[in-house]
Amino acid sequence: MTKRARQRLTVTAAALPVVLLIAALGSGAAGQEPGRPYPSPPMDARAAIDAETATGLFIEANALYAEGRYREAAAAYEGIAAGRFDNADVLYNLGNAYYKEGRIGRAVLAYERALALEPAHADAASNLEFVRELLADRQTAVGGPFSGLLGGVRRWATAGRLSAVASVFYVLAVLFAIVAILRGAFAPWIVRTIVVCAVVFVVAGGALGERIYRDRAVRGAIVTAPEVAVRTGPGTDFVLEFQLHEGTKVRLREGRDEWIRISVPGTDLEGWLPSDAVEAIEWRS
């Protein structure tokens, strides 16, 4: 863990009880339930706790962490999160405790959840990057050359870039159409240019819509099992496609009994794995 991260933990430990008390007084301790394997359980599956209890748990967790009792500290931080307190600092500290006790996959999950609540949380982002670098040596690359190429295209094709491409070619198509109208004739080269611009606009617009849907409607999750087999169907009798390791980010597609269909971001790979091998990042009721 970085020196900067340790410093951040000290600051958070001093400030959070006040933050929790203010948040509780302002919202009645109402919040969203921590993400669980898809589909989510009923809202009453976790009981809310009051601000005094949350503050006591936080102080206890920090003391346990300072003593090197990381598993007990993690359990106390989990108690705050389970009580429906949506706080990025609690999740950041939880990630540190998981990391210290060697539960790397769950550390990634905690940092991801902290960033989902507070995208500008610099220390959570720094520690997430640090942990992912540690995991890189343990994980086996999945997919072939085509998956790598597709992953590169998807990483480049952000929503902002796709929006810019669609806008540029839409404007170009309109401008060439105006030029043709002013000239009083649609020359063949102008027609071909308009068609090309229109095609690029439609493709970029469709890709933008798919990207927005994938980013907002499809839930992200983290593999928390040390290693899990991904199969062609929801059951152990189906063919093994590939394996994933802890800390890998996936997207949840659908659930069936005790199995979930997932896809691997940046690749064309998808399949089924046991629901207890992953946990959703997003918190929702």
What's residue 213's pLDDT? 67
Tell me the torsion sign for CA atoms 122, 284, 42, 51.
positive
* Residue 281 near residue 219 (C-beta atoms within 8 A): yes
Work out the average pLDDT over 91-109. Answer: 93
* Residue 48 near residue 84 (C-beta atoms within 8 A): yes
Per mean pLDDT, which range of 18-22, 145-149, 203-207, 265-269 is the poorest? 18-22
Helix spans in the chain (H): 3-27, 51-66, 70-82, 88-100, 104-117, 122-136, 145-156, 159-183, 188-216
CATH 2.30.30.40 fits 220-280, yes or no: yes
What's residue 38's pLDDT? 32
What's residue 216's pLDDT? 60
* Residue 224 near residue 278 (C-beta atoms within 8 A): yes
- Residue, of 126 and 146, whose pLDDT is higher: 126
What's residue 133's pLDDT? 84
Q: Is pLDDT at 122 greater than 60 in this prediction?
A: yes
Work out the average pLDDT over 8-25. Answer: 42
- Residue, of 5 and 30, whose pLDDT is higher: 5
What's residue 95's pLDDT? 94
**pLDDT, mean over the chain:** 77
What's residue 274's pLDDT? 94
**Amino acid at the residue 134:** L
Work out the average pLDDT over 115-121. Answer: 88
Per mean pLDDT, which range of 111-115, 157-161, 196-200, 220-224 is the poorest? 157-161
β-pair partners for 274: 259
- pLDDT per position as a tens digit, 219-231: 789 999 989 999 9
Q: Indicate the pLDDT class of residue 108, thresholds 50, 70 and 90.
A: very high
Q: Indicate the pLDDT class of residue 111, thresholds 50, 70 and 90.
A: very high
In this prediction, what percent of the chain has a pLDDT beyond 70? 73
Specify the CATH architecture of the domain 3-136.
Alpha Horseshoe (1.25)
Work out the average pLDDT over 111-128. Answer: 90
- Residue, of 32 and 12, whose pLDDT is higher: 12
